[in-house]
Amino acid sequence: MRELVVATKNAGKMKEIREILSGYALKITSLADYPDIPDIVEDGKTFAQNAYKKATVVARYTRKLTMGEDSGLEVKALNGQPGIFSARFSGKQATDKKNNLKLLRELRGVPWEQRDARYQCFIALADGSHKVSPQTCQILSGNCRGKIAFRSQGKNGFGYDPLFFVPEYNTTFGVLDPAIKDKISHRAKALKKVKTFLQEYSPCL
């Protein structure tokens, strides 16, 4: 069975990735399985750059097929913030709760029709068993559009999910059945492209 290393320690992301890629003959591991890998500084200016750095650094270290993923929330009324700083929006000691509270403060007084937002996900795939370069690294992406609710709703998911309202389902990701989220989310859309790539790259999966 081939191994796919996911360059993250985020348990929420790993849960979603494992669920969406279930059914494939892949042993899916994470950085938790490789504690000796040095911390990766996410200093890119875009999601794609951060995903690429994660994938290539870990692929070169493990010499295995590696997925680097970077995702976040872009709010139109905040000129695209928090963007690539989504995980640390409220500072160095950021938590999901602190980030959500800061987002609500920043949007205080903003009417419903101006609370448009989208989740973005960029995934980079690099095969460490070959020479890793920009030319051999695949970059795939997906997004999901919605609005920012006026208050937190639900405990499902992670990150900004309790505030991310999906009009088609009239509720937030925090309330939405995880099985539905795994079909419509930004990460689900990007991973659908990953599935197609992996089928072409390793037909035996």
* Tens-digit pLDDT profile for residues 26-39: 899 999 999 999 88
Instruction: Report the alpha-carbon distance of residue 77 to residue 115 in Å, rounded.
Output: 6
Sort strands 2-6 and 65-75 into parallel, antiparallel or unpaired. Answer: parallel
Do the Cβ atoms of 55 and 126 come closer than 8 Å? yes
Is 70 a catalytic site residue?
yes
| Average per-residue pLDDT for the chain | 93
Region 60-66: mean pLDDT is: 95
The pLDDT score that the predictor gives to residue 131 is 81
Ordered DSSP codes for 89-114: TT-TT--HHHHHHHHHHHTTT--GGG
- Name the CA radius of gyration of the chain, rounded: 17
The pLDDT score that the predictor gives to residue 202 is 66
* Tens-digit pLDDT profile for residues 124-141: 999 998 888 777 899 999
Which residue among 33, 39, 70, 127 is the active-site one? Answer: 70
Region 149-168: mean pLDDT is: 97
pLDDT band (50, 70, 90) for residue 23: confident
The pLDDT score that the predictor gives to residue 204 is 47
Domains along the chain with CATH numbers: 2-201 (3.90.950.10)
pTM more than 0.85: yes
* Tens-digit pLDDT profile for residues 79-135: 999 999 999 999 999 999 999 999 999 999 999 999 999 999 999 999 998 888 777
The two tokens of residue 70 are 């970077």
What count of other Cβ atoms lies within 10 Å of the Cβ of residue 71? 25
Sheet arrangement for strand 2-6: 26-30, 2-6, 65-75, 116-127, 138-148, 164-166, 171-172
Q: Is the pLDDT of residue 176 over 90?
A: yes
Instruction: Report the alpha-carbon distance of residue 102 to residue 85 in Å, rounded.
Output: 13
The pLDDT score that the predictor gives to residue 22 is 86
60: helix, coil or strand?
A: helix
